[in-house]
Each structure stands twice: as C-alpha cells, then as structure tokens.
Amino acid sequence: MPGRALDGRRILVGVTGGIAAYKTAFLVRILTEAGADVQVVMTPTAARFVGPDTFAALTHHPVHSDLFDRTDVVLHVRLAHEADVAVVAPATANALARLALGLADDLMTSALLEATCPLVVAPAMHSGMWNHPATEAHVQTLRERGVVVVDPGEGRLAAGDEGVGRMAEPEEIAAAVTLALSKGGGGRDLAGRTVLVTAGPTHEPIDPVRYLGNRSTGRMGFALATEAARRGANVVLVTGPVALADPPGVGVVRVETSEEMTREVLDRYAEADAVVMAAAVADWRPAQFSSTKLKKEGGAPDLPLERTADILASLGKRKERQVLVGFAAETADDPTDEGRRKLTEKNLDLLVANRVGAPGTGFGSETNEAAILAARGDDVPLRRWAKAELARAVWDRVAGLMPALEARHG
C-alpha cells in the first residue's frame, strides 16, 4: 500500500479463533504503516492462536476481548461509533454465522451489530466448512447487506490437506479495506476545502507562574481536526495549551492566551470555507499582569478582571461565504435554550450545545452530551456522543451546508 493512504482513518479489527490469526498481525502492521489508527478486538478463542500483546505492540492501543473490559464507558458502543471501517480477519465459520444472524454474544459481535461503518470479512476455515450450505447462506446474507467478503484462496490447510479455505493474504485484505473506506460514509467530501478549527483552553497570565484557565483538554477540537483531514480538507488547527500530539495531516498553530487566539483566527478567517470554534476561550482575563510572582505573605491579591474578545461573535459579524460553527459549554440540564440564543445572536450556522459538569462527559472525558442546533431549524436533539462520533456528525452537517452557501454567494 503506497505512502500513508490511510492517514487519520480509524479501523476496528476483529480477530477470531482460527490458525490464520497470525496473518492478521501482518495485516495490522500494513494498516498502521499506511497511517491508520487501528483498534483490535479479539474473541476469547483468538488468544489461543496469537497473544493480545502482539496486537497491542503493533497498534499502541490496549486490546479488548470482553464487554466489561472498560466499566467507565459502554465499550461496544464506543468502539462501533469511533470506527470508519471494520474488518474481521480471520472470519471463522462460527463468526460468519453470528454476524449473519445478528447475534451479539461477545464484544466483537456486539460492536459490529452496533456499527454503521463499512464491514470487510476475510473468511478462513477448512474446505468442508466453507462449502457447507449453511456457510454459503450466511456469506450470501452478508453480501446482500453490503458486507465486503474477501474470498479465501486455495492452498495447504491446517489439517494438512489442500483445498479452498486459506485466508486471503494481508495485502489483499488491506486493499479491500481501503476500497471500502473510499466508498463509505463521509468519503472525501471536504476535499479542496480549507477549514479552521480551534481547540483547548486559553491561559490568561496573572503573574509569571499563575494563570486563569479552564478544564478543557482539547480532545473535541483535535477530533474535529482529525476528521476534517480524513475527509480531504486543508485543516488549520489553532489550539491553546494542551498535552496532545499534532493530528496527522493538520497544520497546527499553538497559542496560549485569548488575545493570541483571536489574532490567529481573525488573520485566517478570510481564507476559510468553514470555521469550527471548539476552543474554550476564557471570558475574562486579569486587567493587570504582575511581572513578579505575587507573594502569599501579602494576603489575597486584588485581582480585577476585564472581558476578553468574543471571537465567535466577531466572526459572525464578518461572515460572508463561510460556514460558522460554535460550541457552547453549559451546566444546565438542558443547554439548548441558551444555545439557541447564542446561535441567533452570533449569526452562526450551527451551534453544539454541550452539557458539562455531569460525570463521564464533557471536559477531559471521551464523550460529550450535546445537541447540534441549526439556524435552519433541523436540530439534532441532546444525546451522548463519543467525541469522534460527534466530530463526524458536525462535518456531515457542515459539508451539507457548503454547496448551499456557494449558490448564495457564488
């Protein structure tokens, strides 16, 4: 597979209990070297053939095999919603039957039943099992549902005889995965577009060692930038201080203060087709900066504050052809009323009303509880999302708005 053709793509690899599982390690290496972010799920019997540590070393992610490996999230739902494509290799006769029948009796089948992304299966079994009418019927059912079946080849089998049933070579399976991605949801619908994303907090200095800040970690903004790059956009990410690595294929501008973020965003606004402001920009900053450390012996300092610039409102006033998306963090049980007010007042196309403060969601977590509000009224109600899933939903909406804006201003 030439170059890094899978940069930023998220691939869920299911490994089942067949001798061909050793070849899946080569498949995972091919996918990761092509730039994919690979998450491996193993059935309990798969570990009899290849140890999970092998896949963990190749992917730099823990390998999951049990529905309750993670009790802080609904693991099979998170795995399903974060995947751009899923592949089962090897797919045993038993796995094909469970997938065709819609069974969900382990982590892998539960995740795949929940998933809406493209699915590739690479069967591997003895010839008699492959040619059995039951297996043939299950494979036909999967094909009719749009599953990509990479047929097994002929050759030496585990029992020592020759015949059809050998799992396809890793290179062939990787090519099928790449093709499935090119035809899957989202595709490259942002190709040729320039998008600007903001992320993280801002730090407003009080003295050389202290600042006003907030709990934002930047994960949501980085998920948005990663998804836009995957869909072909030219992405500029302006981020406050965060402990996250630069997303692949994204131009990253790192800032510290709200003033710096304002300058960088406004300087780039005219060139952008879409702007998604996911940063948690400070609303206030100290009116004065102390050039020396404030000493506690002097008592609590008098710390007058002043308002920072409202970047989103400034963009709304300047908006011409751009699609403009805001994020609003609210602690109310229902953040949509306040979100609707901001959507209108700031002249936005979309606003993600994000409920924060609840356990397991919002700042620092892997999920957001959010509604997507739209100026034209076709809202997405409040629900819990994996951040990668919410990023996909936002760009789906943005991509749908861009042609309409071109017709209006073009």
User: Three-state DSSP class for 37?
Assistant: strand
Closest CA to 310 of 350, 345, 338, 334: 345
Q: Distance of CA 62 to CAs 56, 236, 247, Å?
A: 5, 30, 20
**Three-class secondary structure of residue 68 per DSSP:** coil
Place of tokens 């692949």: 248
Q: For residues 164 and 319, what is the distance between their CA atoms, to the nearest angstrom?
A: 61
Q: How far apart are alpha carbons 321 and 409 in whole angstroms?
A: 6
| CA 185 remoteness from chain centre | 13
Alpha carbons within 13 angstroms on the beta-carbon side of residue 315 total: 32
Amino acid at 238: V
Rounded (10°) CA dihedral 204, 207, 209, 213:
-20
What 8-state DSSP symbol labels residue 294? Answer: P
What is the dihedral sign for C-alpha 200, 392, 78, 360?
positive
The pair of structure tokens assigned to 40 is: 């491996």
Closest CA to 93 of 68, 59, 125, 51: 125
Residue 263: both structure tokens together: 């300058």
Catalytic residue status for 94? no
In the set 214, 234, 347, 354, the catalytic residue is 214
| Beta carbons of 40 and 47 less than 8 angstroms apart | no
- Are the beta carbons of 261 and 311 closer than 8 angstroms? yes
Q: Are 386 and 82 in contact (CB under 8 A)?
A: yes
Distance CA 244, CA 219 (A): 8
The residues, ordered by sequence, that sit 6+ positions from 145 with a Cβ below 8 Å of its Cβ are none
At position 107, the amino acid (one-letter code) is L
Query: Catalytic site residues?
Result: 214
